[in-house]
Chain A
């Protein structure tokens, strides 16, 4: 589904490598945390997958698309197979909750009737059907993030990329958002979450890829935020 093959990337000629010879593979339907300190390169992984940035070496394969030589005009079609969630929600304040979600469907040319049918269903999934007419400013942080998730999944993307989705939320809301992402994952969507949230990572026990100084230093199934300190005999 997602394949990084010896990918190296720097933001400019003089800048140090943001990713250094990274190779990783994520299967369809996986739930993966990418963790690491600030500036380690975890957000760069998301930026490369969404073609927001280009890499200098290696290859990234997303589904059946190789991204190294992808033409600019093909980028929007790559993004349509991705749902994206950000720490700052990125909702349009002038639009209602319904319009914010419908917006993503309008862009891909969905008919009005399909939008009227699909958006309430998705808003029900994230528990916001009753707030369809509200503006983002009238919602709590957790609710705004759920609107962002609804917008991200309304076109049924194969992959959901979340960059610090709980960064602006309190622990309760963070848990709800993660539970929601897990539900979406159970439907078969690949979910990749970049996060600092130690408690959530430890609680969820999903695959953890740790990046430090642009390199993958750990890739652990059912991992935790920190290295698992296993008993001596188990390590053998």
Chain B
């Protein structure tokens, strides 16, 4: 295609945007609103998965040792946990530490166990795994070590978190799909109005020998530009909102907490990329639907 023709197409696309400011404004506003919702869903999904992943590794697997476990067996298991790749971290709790914990839990009633001998309590390992799905494999491996009385872990909690994660992902996917379809419909209608408003001009273009692409491409670009402006606006709004929510929600919560939100810098570029691509694509495809239907040589 001739470079002058390409320049004209781009020029016509910008003319189209500026020629019908109200239509363009309505179009950009709609795309922006849609993409704000999409961006918010993304932020929510990322955070939900982030927290689920963290919390999912948190339900500790408690390995209770026999009360009479020899020191050597304790050390063997300690070495195994240290070298096991499935293990994120672990902690050995001595009988005395268990005793102290109970006292803390009992609070004012701690005197009730004053006469209890801490040495009667067992040793235990509290283990966190990198991936909650590896619980069974881990359990099988550890079970072979002598000196273990019982391995406890909260399968119910892990199952719930995995299920919740799946539901959040599916809900996000459905919501985003619906929002995309709505955006497509709205852009398509906006461009249709734009084409009909310029129908006389389009007819003249055909008479003087304009090709289909010469007439169609400016509308596609117009849709894409609308999408891009909408996506950038939405991104700015989402970033400002997220910053505000982060400040409010985090308060005194330490960043290392299982319930801590993702820092903005972990989200901002991926949200920008997704919103930009979605906006551009929705704009171009949305206008393409109308252009294909209403502009024919």
Contact = CB atoms under 8 A, between A and B. Distances in A.
Contact of B212 (A73, A80, A106, A112): A73
B210 A76 contact: yes
Given A92-B200, A92-B204, A94-B19, A112 B211 contact: no
Nearest to B296: A72
A139 B8 CA distance: 27
B207 A79 contact: yes
A91 B201 CA distance: 8
Contacts of A94: 19
Interface in B185-204: 200-201, 203-204
B71 interface: no
Nearest to A109: B2
Interface residues of A, number: 25
Q: Closest 10 A-B residue pairs measured CB to CB?
A: A109-B2, A80-B209, A79-B209, A104-B208, A109-B5, A76-B211, A107-B210, A109-B4, A76-B209, A106-B8
16 contacts: A72-B296, A76-B210, A76-B297, A77-B209, A79-B206, A90-B200, A92-B200, A104-B208, A106-B8, A107-B205, A107-B208, A107-B214, A108-B209, A109-B5, A111-B4, A155-B209
A103 B47 CA distance: 53
B279 to A, nearest CB: 28
Given A76-B209, A76-B210, A90 B297 contact: no
Interface of A: 50, 72-73, 75-77, 79-80, 82, 84, 90-92, 94, 103-104, 106-112, 151, 155
Contacts of B296: 72
A110 B214 CA distance: 14
Given A72-B297, A106-B8, A109-B4, A151 B208 contact: yes
Count chain B CB atoms within 10 A of each CB in A73, A76, A77, A94 and give the residue with the most.
Answer: A76
Contacts of A104: 208-209
Given A90-B204, A106-B5, 10 more contacts: A73-B212, A77-B209, A80-B208, A84-B208, A94-B19, A103-B204, A107-B205, A109-B8, A151-B208, A155-B209
B200 A73 contact: no
A177 B212 CA distance: 32
Given A75-B297, A92-B201, A103 B208 contact: yes
Nearest to A161: B207
Contacts of A72: 212, 296-297
A116 to B, nearest CB: 13
Contacts of A107: 5, 8, 205, 208-210, 214
Nearest to A93: B200
Nearest to B9: A106
